[in-house]
Amino acid sequence: MSDQNRLSVFKTYKLYVGGKFPRSESGRVYEVQDHKGKWLANAPLSSRKDARDAVVAARKAFGGWSGATAYNRGQILYRVAEMLEGRKSQFVREVAHAEGLSKAKAAEVVEAAVDRWVWYAGWTDKIGQVVGGANPVAGPFFNLSTPEPTGVVTVVAPQESSFLGLVSVIAPVIATGNTAVVIASEKAPLPALSLGEVLATSDLPGGVVNILSGKAAEMGPHLAAHQDVNAIDLTGADADLARELEIAAADNLKRVLRRRTEDFTGSPGTDRMTAFLETKTVWHPTGSLGASGSAY
């Protein structure tokens, strides 16, 4: 059969929840267009039930992921970078369509996103030394502070930076042992949904990252009020939605990373890694007082 008579096979984009690729529970989809208004694909329009399923998957994965060694988490993040490098051409095409960039500029964005995974992979077993350590105390005790992950983090991904910004908000959350429920950019969700395919074929356990597409205004309030979500990143929320989500998050004292203007092309620093870490302090007696210690 000649190419002229061959029908194109269009990609069916799906959610990424619990390591699997479900359609939206509601069966709804919405049109995704490029920067010129041309139809690209139909993306799943996630429901509140999809959001609840994502939280359940993230909570289930938290124990194993937070209990893994920091070195092992770093290896897995580096593996994600390797997988992205192998599918670079696909992401260049999707980012170019999503953000209205030339192919050359989109390639720079994708390469920066791959480099960002490598950056955070290298930090997984070092951040503990930066934010933890031994504290001087007046008494026969060792006093040690160590960072621990907060838990399940809802991430409202950036709206404009559909891939580099997306990676910049997901990678630090999971690098420090948290699990994530991500609301992708509403107008440009395709790079995020394709990232789910990369994560599924890497060594990342299912449920560590869960990616939803659709309306942040519809899913966000439910996730912000969810009692099994421990923190929320408001980066991609507009001012009105961010205010609503912050109020809802206060109900169970969630950690909140407020929205701010960011240049994702700059050095990422360590701010996002420390945003979702708790500090555990351990007191341990010295000398002949015994071997038992206490923590709070």
List all residues 6 or more positions away from 269 whose beta carbon is below 8 Å from its beta carbon: none
The number of residues in the chain equals 296
Using an 8 Å Cβ cutoff, are 205 and 65 in contact?
Answer: yes
**Which 3 state secondary structure label does DSSP give 185?**
coil
Using an 8 Å Cβ cutoff, are 276 and 133 in contact?
Answer: no
Q: Please, what CATH class does the domain formed by 11-295 belong to?
A: alpha beta
Q: State how far the alpha carbon of 272 is from the alpha carbons of 15, 156, 239, 240, in Å.
A: 25, 14, 20, 23
What sign does the dihedral 244-250-253-256 (CA atoms) show? Answer: positive
Q: Which range among 2-11, 66-75, 128-137, 189-198 shows the weakest confidence by mean pLDDT?
A: 2-11
Average pLDDT over residues 1-16: 78
Task: Kindly indicate the confidence band of residue 187, based on its pLDDT and cuts at 50, 70 and 90.
Answer: very high
Q: What does pLDDT average to over the chain?
A: 91
Cα torsion for 244, 255, 53, 208, to the nearest 10°?
140
Using an 8 Å Cβ cutoff, are 61 and 207 in contact?
Answer: yes
Six-digit token string for 63: 């124990």
Task: Kindly indicate the confidence band of residue 3, based on its pLDDT and cuts at 50, 70 and 90.
Answer: low
pLDDT digits (tens, 9 = 90+) for 83-133: 999 999 999 999 999 999 999 999 999 999 999 999 999 999 999 888 877
pLDDT digits (tens, 9 = 90+) for 212-227: 999 999 999 999 999 9
| Closest-CA residue to 184 (of 205, 206, 154) | 154
- Angle in degrees, CA 197, 199, 201, rounded to 5: 70
pLDDT above 70: residue 249: yes
What sign does the dihedral 173-87-200-23 (CA atoms) show? Answer: positive
Task: Kindly indicate the confidence band of residue 289, based on its pLDDT and cuts at 50, 70 and 90.
Answer: very low
Residue 50 is inside which H or E element, if any? Answer: helix 48-67
Six-digit token string for 25: 């529970």
Q: What is the pLDDT of residue 282?
A: 83
Task: Kindly indicate the confidence band of residue 262, based on its pLDDT and cuts at 50, 70 and 90.
Answer: confident
Using an 8 Å Cβ cutoff, are 80 and 230 in contact?
Answer: no
CA distance linking residue 211 with residue 230, whole number of Å: 17
pTM of the model: 0.90
Extents of the domains making up the chain: 11-295
Task: Kindly indicate the confidence band of residue 2, based on its pLDDT and cuts at 50, 70 and 90.
Answer: low
pLDDT digits (tens, 9 = 90+) for 128-161: 888 877 778 878 878 777 889 999 999 999 999 9
Residue 43 is inside which H or E element, if any? Answer: strand 39-44
CA distance linking residue 42 with residue 209, whole number of Å: 22
CA distance linking residue 96 with residue 100, whole number of Å: 5
Six-digit token string for 222: 């439910």
